[in-house]
Amino acid sequence: MKKRNKTTKRLQILVLALGFVCCGLLAFYVYTSHKTIDITEFYHPYVQVNKEAALYQLNKDEYEEFAKVYPNVTMQLENKDKQDMHTAYFKLKNQDVYVKAEDVKEAAALTKQKMTSRYLPFNETITTNDSYTLKDGDGNALVTMNQKDSYPIYMKNKKTIGVMVNDQLYFIDQKDIKETKQADNTKEEAAKDVPVFMYHYFYSKANGEKAENGNWLEVNDFEDQLKYLKEKGYQTVYMQDLEYFMDGKIRLPKKSVSLTVDDGTKSIYQYAYPLLKKYDMKATLFLIMNKFKDDTLPDTFQEMKENGMELQSHSYAMHTGGCDGGHGGALRCVDLDTGIKDTKKSFSIIGGGFVYCYPYGDVTESALEIMKDSGVRMAFTTNYGKIEPGMDKLQLPRVRIFGESGLSQFIYSLDE
């Protein structure tokens, strides 16, 4: 009996000892497994997922899936020194959103498409279904959200609604929207019309230059105009913004203007461009393409394009006289095929476009047909007026700037 008791006691001690060993090993495993996870080698400032992958939010120390991101979507990660490299997740830049390290690969730096113009929200808000997808402007799926959300409406299309997320415009299919309600999203006054100012040439008195006619504007006068726009809170908008505005797809702030410069002379790069950069303004340059050697866009215009200036067409070789009527521009009397060929060639030199400025402002039924058949969506005349929703987009007016007008006339053109 004593021998059996002694054996039993030894077994109890052994089991107890094994228990301590197992607990110790388990604790050591948990500790070391946590500490030996190191995702540093997978870190890159910009990443894409290898395939459709989950996005997570951190809730009480638990990573909970709430969305799905698609391949080829570039994401910026939080700075390396702000990452916990001993978890399996990377944190996205400026967001409480995480992605698994094993799901990502290195990507090129994100070329974020900034909203260069400010839109006002409509006083309507959508509520999505319990699951919906955010898409880009080309209809590519970016992220599918597994939750219901509400957004103010920033753009109205037939099949999609534009919403703003982190200062970027994204689109949600109408089928993913549960309801739309009236909402007091903004009290800021929206534009009813937008002036499109028409400039031509610039010169400097300080450099001993003189105006050749009323289309020449002294560079200091141009700076006074830009300075006024800046101080009074005006924004300059692109042609795409104007098209959306005329179609009723967006609302622009009341203080919105467009600056256009015709012909494409060297004075733009020499005098206007530095001032446009100084005051953070953008302009649309209507270029006469046959002035360029070897039909190649000069480096100066390429630089301006890359730095926010918009390039559109003032024809390839139609800015010449020789036709009866109007101002005698060549577009008045060329046949349809010649006009279409000239127009398309002009856009090919600048790398594409959809806006045309009629040479000498001449518009005829034939010219309108050329525009339609060339794929032009907007065309400007020299007629006076401001842009309003519902206008004929192939016969748009502008506000001509004369060199001798002065700042007071410019201000009057804004406010009239």
In this structure, what CATH number is given to the domain that contains residue 312? 3.20.20.370
| Within a domain: 352 | yes
Check residue 26 and give its pLDDT.
44
Q: What is the pLDDT of residue 312?
A: 98
Residue 113 falls within a domain, yes or no?
A: no
Among 115-119, 276-280, 284-288, where is mean pLDDT lowest? 115-119
Share of the chain residues as helix, strand and coil, in percent rounded to the nearest 5 = 35, 30, 40
The neighbour count for residue 401, using CB atoms within 10 Å, is 22
Residue 119 lies in a domain: no
220 and 155, same structural domain? no
Distance CA 289, CA 350 (A): 9
The answer to whether residues 224 and 351 belong to one domain is yes
Matching residue, tokens 């530095």:
274
Residues 6+ apart with CB under 8 A from 139: 171
Answer yes or no: is pLDDT of 416 > 60: yes
pLDDT in tens, 44-82: 999 999 899 999 999 998 999 999 999 989 999 999 999
> Hey, which bits of 264-414 come out as E strands?
284-287, 310-313, 355-357, 378-384, 396-400
Per the structure, the complete domain to which residue 248 belongs is given by: 196-415
- The Cα–Cα gap between 253 and 235 comes to 8
Residue 1 lies in a domain: no
Residue 205 pLDDT: 97
Q: Is residue 324 part of a domain?
A: yes
- Beta bridge partners of residue 134, listed in sequence order: 143
Query: Are 53 and 159 in the same domain?
Result: no
Tell me which of 2 and 396 has the higher pLDDT: 396
Q: Are residues 149 and 64 in the same domain?
A: no
pLDDT confidence bin for 322, thresholds 50/70/90? confident
Let me know if residue 230 belongs to a domain. yes
Neighbouring CB atoms inside 10 A of 203's CB total 20
Distance CA 317, CA 338 (A): 10
Q: Quick check: is 50 in a domain?
A: yes
Q: Tell whether 232 and 362 lie within a shared domain.
A: yes
CA quadruple 185, 280, 383, 342: dihedral, nearest 10: -110
In a domain, 114, yes or no: no
Portion of the chain with pLDDT greater than 90, in percent: 81
What is the rounded CA–CA span in Å between residue 239 and residue 258? 8
Residues 277 and 329 in one domain: yes
Q: What is the CATH number of the domain that holds 137?
A: 2.30.30.40
- The single-letter DSSP state of residue 101 is G
Q: Where are the alpha helices (DSSP H) in 209-328?
A: 219-231, 239-246, 266-267, 273-278, 299-306
Number of domains in the chain: 3
pLDDT recorded at residue 324? 81
C-alpha separations of 59 from 19, 30, 53, 222, 266 in Å: 34, 21, 19, 56, 59
Find where tokens 């880009």 sit.
136
Domain endpoint, select from 144, 159, 182? 182
Residues 60 and 157 reside in one and the same domain: no
Average pLDDT over residues 90-109: 93
Q: What pLDDT is stored for residue 305 in this prediction?
A: 96
DSSP 75: E
- Burial class from Cβ neighbours inside 10 Å (0-12, 13-18, 19+) for residue 373 reads middle
Both 236 and 373 in a single domain? Answer: yes
Q: What is the pLDDT of residue 30?
A: 44
Q: Looking at 134, 149, 182, which one is the last position of a domain?
A: 182
At which of 106, 139, 160 does a domain end? 106
Whether residue 178 sits in one domain with residue 201: no
* Neighbouring C-beta atoms of residue 239, cutoff 10 Å: 19
pLDDT digits (tens, 9 = 90+) for 169-211: 999 999 999 999 999 999 999 999 999 999 999 999 999 999 9
pLDDT grade for 141, boundaries at 50, 70 and 90: very high
Reply yes or no on whether the pLDDT at 7 is more than 90: no
pLDDT tens sequence across 325-352: 777 788 998 999 999 999 999 999 999 9
Q: What pLDDT is stored for residue 18 in this prediction?
A: 43
CB under 8 Å to 240, separation ≥6 — which residues? none
Q: What is the pTM of this model?
A: 0.84
Q: What percent of the chain has pLDDT over 70?
A: 89
Asked if residue 80 and residue 201 are part of one domain, the reply reads no
6: its two tokens: 């002694």
CATH number, domain of 88, equals: 2.30.30
pLDDT tens digits for 355-400?
A: 999 999 989 999 999 999 999 999 999 999 999 999 999 999 999 9
Residue found under tokens 């080829």: 72
Same domain as 172, residue 82:
no
Chain segment 196-252, per-residue pLDDT in tens: 999 999 999 999 999 999 999 999 999 999 999 999 999 999 999 999 999 999 999
Residue 149 and residue 101 share a domain:
no
